[in-house]
Structure 1
Amino acid sequence: MTDQEPVTDQEPVTAREFGRVERIGDTVRRPAMPWTPAVHGLLLYLEDIGYPHAPRVLGFDEHGREVLTWIEGESGPDGWGKVVDDRGLRFFARLLREYHDAVAGYRPPAATLWSSTTAGPVGDEVVCHGDFGPWNTVWSGARPIGIIDWDHARPAARLHDVAYTLQYTAPFRDDAECLRWLRYPEPPDRCHRIEVFAAAYGLTDTRGLVDEVLRVQEAGIEVVRRLAERGDEPQATWVAEGHLDQLRAQLAWSRENRHLAEAGGRRDPVRGGRTGAGPPAA
C-alpha cells in the first residue's frame, strides 16, 4: 500500500499496552512488531486461498504501522454475549474448525519468528490463531464473520486453539464472574457447553478436553512469565501489575472445579463453583 493522508473519520479502536491501534476509514493501523512478517505471511496465505474471515494485508503507512482491512461488525466486549446460547456457540466452534481446515496447507519454515516462539508446523500442527475468543471475533448479528488480532498466532496442535477458547466459553470461570462479566443470565452448564462446542467443531467425544484446558492455562502462565523476564510488552507490565497471580488463581479454580466441566459432573447445587469473582482476563 502506498502512503495516504489520514482521512477525517479516524477513530481509535482500542489501546494496547504496547501500542495504539486505530481505525482510519476502512483500514486498521497497528504498530509493527518483530513477528509482524510472520503474521502477514499467514494472512497473505489465507487471502491467496480465498479464506473470507480474516483481514487483508495492505502494507505499511508513513508511520511504519501495518495496515489491514477493517471488518465491519461487532467485536471486543460485544462478542461475549454472542456465545452464551448454544446457537452462537455452535457458529463460533464451526468458525474455528473452518479456519483450521483452511490453514492446514500452510507450512512456513522452522525459522519463522512468532510472538512467543520461533518455529514452523510439525506433523499435524497448524498455525493456530493463539488468541481465539469471542472478543477477537467479528459478528454480524448472531453469526461470526471475521477473526481479528492475529498477534499470538503460532504453530501448535489444533487442540490448543480448542482448549484455549474453551477456558473462556465453557467457561472455566466462577459463576459470579459469568453472571457479572460474561453476560450469562444464569450459571452455565459447563459440561453441556463443552459437548456443544466439541460436536460443532467436529470432535467425536470430549475426553481429555478438561486436561488440555488445564495444560493450556499452565502453559499460558509460563509464556507470560518468560516474555516478561525478557522485557516484552505487554507481559512485563502485566507481571508488574500482578497479572500472574490472577492467572494462577484461575488455574487453581479450574483444578478445583473441573468436575463442573466433565461428563457425569453436572453443576453441584451446593458449591455451584463459586470461589470468587473478578473481571475476565481477555
Structure 2
Amino acid sequence: MRVGDTVRRPPHDRSPYVHAVLRHLAAAGFDGAPRFLGTDARGRAILSYVDGTVTADAAALSDLQVAGAGRLVRGFHDATAGTGLAGGEEVVLHGDLGPHNTVFAGERAVALIDWDDGVAPGPRVRDVGHAVWCFADIGASGGPLAVQAHRARVFLDAYGWPDPAEVVDEIAARFRRARADHLAHDRADAAAIFAGYVGWMERHAPTLTTLMAAAPPR
C-alpha cells in the first residue's frame, strides 16, 4: 500500500532478514532498491516509494530497458557477494526478478522492487535464470525463438553472464522445481501449467541455446 512517498508492507517470517538486506544495499551505495525506513504502528515495513513505471509485458520493453535491468541485477548481486548476508552462498537472491518487479524511468531501469519472503542466499544463476525467463518471456507465449533468444542475450550481455547454456538449463530446472512443488501441494492446475513449460523447454531448449550463443545482440 502506498502512503504518501512511502510503501507499507505487512510483515512475514523473513522480514528481519529482508530488512537487513535492504539496509546493507543502502550502506553499500546501491541505489536500485527501496530504502527501508523502519516500521509503522501496525508493524508494517516502511519503504521509500520509487517513482516510475512497471509492466508485466516483456514484449513492450526496449533493448535499452532490458539491458538496464541486466546491469541493475548485476549491481545488486555484486553488492551482496562475499557478505555475511549471503551465508556462504554466492550472493543474496531477490527470488522474483522480472519486468513486473522492475521500475523504469523512460529507458532506464532504476529499481528492483517487491522484496518479499523469497529473498535468500543462493547462486547467481537462480536469479539470472528467473530474470531471463521473465524479461525474454521464455515459453510458448513469448513469440519466435529468435526474438526470445535476442532478448535473453541482451539481458545476459548487460549482466556480464558468459554461458547462455547454463541459464537455459536453470530455467528448465526452475520449471521442473515448480511443477514438483505444485504436485506436492495438490495444486493440480498450477502443476499442469508448469508441466506445459517443462515440455516446451524439452522441445526448444537446444535451439534456444544455439540462438543465444550464435551472435551478439543487435
Q: TM-score, normalised by structure 1?
A: 0.68
Aligned with 2:58 (options 77, 80, 101): 80
Matches within 5 A, 1:173-192: 173-174=139-140, 177-178=141-142, 189-192=147-150
Aligned to 1:51: 30
Aligned with 1:203 (options 139, 143, 161): 161
Identity, % of aligned positions = 32
Partners of 1:44 and 1:167 in 2: CA distance: 28
Greater per-residue helix proportion: 2
Bigger drift between 132-141 and 245-254 goes to 245-254
Contact 1:82 1:88 in 2 (8 A): no
Pairwise CA distance, 1:166 = 1.4
> In structure 2, do the counterparts of structure 1 residues 136 and 39 end up closer, same or farther at CA, with 3 Å as the change threshold?
same
Aligned to 1:251: 198
AA at the equivalent of 2:128: V
Greater RCO structure (CA 8 Å; 6+ sep): 2
Aligned to 1:67: 46
> In structure 2, do the counterparts of structure 1 residues 160 and 47 end up closer, same or farther at CA, with 3 Å as the change threshold?
same
Q: CA-to-partner distance for each residue in 1:169-221, whole Å, 9 max, x for gaps?
A: 233221xx336xxxxxx775223333322222112342322112111222233
Partners of 1:150 and 1:224 in 2: CA distance: 23
AA at the equivalent of 1:191: A
Partners of 2:36 and 2:211 in 1: CA distance: 46
Matches within 5 A, 1:87-236: 87-108=64-85, 121-123=87-89, 125-151=90-116, 152-174=118-140, 177-178=141-142, 189-223=147-181, 228=185
Q: CA-to-partner distance for each residue in 1:88-117, whole Å, 9 max, x for gaps?
A: 221111111111111214313xxxxxxxxx
Tell me, what secondary structure is at the counterpart of 1:146?
A: strand
How big is the alpha-carbon RMSD for the aligned residues of Structure 1 and Structure 2? 2.5
AA at the equivalent of 1:209: V
Tell me, what secondary structure is at the counterpart of 2:165?
A: coil
Unpaired runs of 5+ residues, structure 2, are 214-218
Pairwise CA distance, 1:165 = 1.3
Bigger drift between 126-135 and 87-96 goes to 87-96
Unpaired runs of 5+ residues, structure 1, are 1-21, 109-119, 180-185, 230-238, 267-282
